[in-house]
């Protein structure tokens, strides 16, 4: 990383502080849009990095009470509760508003930092800090006071713009790759509807059966707390089950002895369909070839009879038709759950197996293209990460 002059961040900001006390902006303070004076910027804007989220509003009296916490174009907001350290540059021409208690606002002085360059620098810095709890119990990456005391590099504006231009080029390619993957996913969904119709109306008249009639097995994972290891065999939970794929970056492990103990009840097989049944309920994917794992109670296995192709079953489960059934069937206490008995009563369609197999062939073709795009995406992400390390340390 090139050497630049270092200055305390507080010397180069106009304003930097956390939002108002929670008691100042409770749920009953929000009003309908027709009564709104301004919007409220929340951490969901920082997490999703977009203005295109559900918006809440306050009236003029509440704005006047909290106008010190105003937000305007060019400000940078930071998520400070739950998901910590996500940032968002408020875009040009964004509506004015006030801060929610869950965010920090940084308003830079003019002509010191390019806001997009600074946003990347800030993201890198925030990742270095361990989460700590402040006096109110809100978990934060770092307090505004401590952040303000840190020394930040201050390249010339032209140097910042040159760095940001390189980062933006790579980010643009990454964004295009992600959009292409999404387009391929949407292509598969469109092909599903083309071949099998809208399952909500069933225009092709497919036979409707309960899952207990079309499966050989419905069961969930280990109920007792498994003995985890630092490495070994995957132990999957609901968080690892995404729609049409497994997330194995954040996964637990068990050793061979624990695997054998759990496997006395059930051994997952390629072609089984995994279903998340606790917390975030209803996500599913097929078990791929060659994956050796066990699972905890938050994940269920559905092993379908040979009248259903597992890939067809996977896309049927993620359809609105089955997802609506799951929403009605899940129980809600401290978190949502979908129990085996409820899964068994879900209903699905049984089109001709030859048509299901044709759909499988189509999915395989698209998946081959997705592998190439995913590889390119990962390469570009590595390039971006290396540039971030080079420029920001």
Q: pLDDT tens across 187-203, in order?
A: 999 999 999 999 999 99
- Do 147 and 220 reside in the same domain of the chain? no
Distances (CA, A) of 106 to 135, 150, 156: 21, 14, 20
238 domain-assigned: yes
- Do 255 and 319 reside in the same domain of the chain? yes
pLDDT score for 345: 96
365 domain-assigned: no
CA dihedral 248→250→245→305, nearest 10 degrees, is: 80
373 domain-assigned: no
Residue 101 half-sphere exposure toward CB, CA atoms < 13 A: 13
pLDDT score for 367: 95
388 domain-assigned: no
pLDDT score for 84: 85
- Do 151 and 259 reside in the same domain of the chain? no
Percentage of the chain modeled with pLDDT above 70: 95
Residue 114 half-sphere exposure toward CB, CA atoms < 13 A: 15
- Do 88 and 226 reside in the same domain of the chain? no
The phi, psi pair for 280, rounded to 5°, reads -85, 105
pLDDT score for 136: 43
The string of pLDDT tens digits covering residues 292-327 is 999 999 999 999 999 999 999 999 999 999 999 999
If you ran DSSP here, which 8-state letter would residue 306 be given?
T
Span 264-286, mean pLDDT? 94
- Do 218 and 343 reside in the same domain of the chain? yes
What whole-number distance in Å separates Cα of residue 228 and Cα of residue 379? 32
- Do 339 and 241 reside in the same domain of the chain? yes
The H-or-E segment that residue 38 falls in is strand 38-41
pLDDT over 60 (residue 135) = no
13 domain-assigned: yes
CATH code at 297? Answer: 3.90.220.20
Q: Do residues 80 and 104 touch, judged by C-beta distance below 8 A?
A: yes
Which residues form the domain of 313? 207-350
> Which residue among 332, 350, 368 closes a domain?
350
If phi > 0 it is left, if psi is from -120 to 50 it is alpha, else beta; for residue 217 that is beta
pLDDT over 80 (residue 2) = no
- Do 96 and 215 reside in the same domain of the chain? no
- Do 10 and 146 reside in the same domain of the chain? yes
- Do 213 and 337 reside in the same domain of the chain? yes
> Which residue among 155, 188, 223 closes a domain?
155
182 domain-assigned: no
pTM: 0.79
Per-residue pLDDT band at 43 (split at 50, 70, 90): very high
- Do 61 and 146 reside in the same domain of the chain? yes
- Do 134 and 265 reside in the same domain of the chain? no
Span 265-280, mean pLDDT? 93
- Structural domain count, the chain: 2
> Which residue among 114, 134, 155 closes a domain?
155
378 domain-assigned: no
pLDDT score for 132: 46
117 domain-assigned: yes
- Do 133 and 212 reside in the same domain of the chain? no
The phi, psi pair for 356, rounded to 5°, reads -60, -40
The phi, psi pair for 226, rounded to 5°, reads -70, 150
């Amino acid at each position: 990383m090139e050497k630049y002059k270092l200055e305390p961040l507080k010397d180069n900001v106009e304003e930097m502080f956390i939002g108002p006390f929670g008691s100042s902006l409770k749920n009953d303070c929000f009003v309908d849009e027709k009564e709104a004076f301004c919007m409220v910027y929340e951490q969901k804007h920082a997490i999703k990095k977009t203005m295109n989220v559900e918006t809440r509003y306050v009236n003029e009296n509440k704005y006047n009470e909290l106008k010190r916490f105003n937000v305007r174009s060019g400000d940078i907001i930071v998520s400070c509760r739950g998901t910590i350290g996500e940032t968002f540059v408020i875009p040009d021409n964004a509506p004015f508003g006030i801060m929610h208690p869950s965010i920090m606002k940084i308003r830079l002085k003019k002509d010191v930092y390019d806001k997009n360059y600074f946003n990347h620098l800030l993201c890198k810095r925030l990742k270095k800090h361990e989460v700590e709890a402040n006096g109110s119990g809100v978990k934060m990456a770092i307090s505004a006071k401590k952040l303000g005391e840190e020394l930040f590099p201050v390249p010339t504006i032209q140097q910042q713009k040159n760095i940001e231009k390189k980062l933006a080029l790579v980010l643009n390619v990454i964004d295009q790759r992600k959009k292409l993957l999404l387009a391929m996913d949407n292509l598969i969904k469109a092909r599903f509807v083309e071949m099998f119709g809208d399952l909500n109306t069933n225009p092709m008249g497919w036979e409707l059966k309960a899952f207990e009639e079309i499966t050989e097995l419905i069961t969930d994972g280990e109920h007792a707390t498994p003995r985890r290891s630092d490495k070994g065999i995957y132990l999957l939970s609901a968080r690892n089950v995404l729609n049409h794929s497994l997330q194995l970056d954040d996964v637990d492990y068990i050793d061979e002895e624990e695997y054998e103990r759990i496997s006395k009840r059930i051994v997952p097989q390629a072609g089984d369909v995994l279903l998340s049944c606790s917390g975030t309920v209803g996500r599913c994917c097929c078990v791929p070839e060659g994956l050796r794992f066990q699972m905890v109670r938050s994940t269920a296995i559905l092993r379908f009879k040979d009248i259903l192709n597992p890939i067809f079953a996977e896309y049927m489960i993620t359809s609105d038709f089955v997802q609506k059934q799951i929403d009605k069937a899940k129980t809600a206490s401290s978190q949502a759950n979908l129990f085996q008995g409820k899964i068994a009563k879900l209903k699905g369609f049984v089109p001709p197996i030859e048509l299901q197999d044709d759909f499988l062939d189509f999915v395989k073709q698209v998946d081959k293209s997705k592998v190439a795009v995913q590889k390119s995406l990962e390469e570009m992400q590595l390039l971006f990460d290396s540039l971030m390390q080079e420029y920001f340390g």
